[in-house]
Structure 1
Amino acid sequence: MAGAARRFGSETSKTRDILLDCVEKLMLEQGYAAVTFRAVATEAEVTPGLVQYYFRTLDGIFSAAIQRYSERNIRYLAKALDAPAEDLLQVIWEYSWDEAASSLTTEFMALGNHRKSVQAEIAEATERVRKLQLEALEKNFDGRGPFGGNLTPGALLLLISGIPKFLELEESVGVHTAHQELVDAFEQFLGTKNSAQPRKRSVRRRAR
Structure 2
Amino acid sequence: MLEEGYAAVTFRAVAAKAGVTPSLVQYYFRTLDGIFLAAIRRYTERNIRHLTEALAVPPGQRPRILWDYSRTEAASALTTEFMALGNHRESVRAEIAEATERVRKLQLDALSQGADGLRFLDRKLTPGGLLLLITGIPKYLALEEGIGVRTAHQELVDAFEEFLGPVPATVGKGKSARPRRDRPGGRLQTR
Please give the TM-score of this superposition, normalised by the length of structure 1: 0.79
1:207 aligns with 2:190: yes
CA distance in 1, matches of 2:188, 2:5: 27
Unmatched runs of 5 consecutive residues or more in structure 2: 173-186
Greater relative contact order (Cα < 8 A, sep 6+): 2
Runs of 4+ in 1 over 3 A off after TM superposition: 142-146, 198-202
**Native 8 Å contact 2:60 2:118 kept in 1:** no
What residue is the counterpart of 1:101 in the other structure?
75
Q: Considering only CA atoms, is the larger Rg found in Structure 1 or Structure 2?
A: 1
**Native 8 Å contact 1:100 1:164 kept in 2:** yes
What residue is the counterpart of 1:170 in the other structure?
144
1:148-167 map, 5 Å: 148-167=122-141
- Is the partner of 2:190 in helix, strand or coil? coil
1:114 aligns with 2:101: no
1:14-163 map, 5 Å: 27-141=1-115, 146-163=120-137
Across the aligned residues of Structure 1 and Structure 2, the Cα RMSD in angstroms comes to 2.3
More helix by share: 1
The code of the aligned residue for 2:105 comes to: K
CA distance in 2, matches of 1:161, 1:37: 34
The code of the aligned residue for 2:151 comes to: T
**Native 8 Å contact 2:67 2:134 kept in 1:** yes
- Is the partner of 1:114 in helix, strand or coil? coil
Unmatched runs of 5 consecutive residues or more in structure 1: 1-26, 193-197
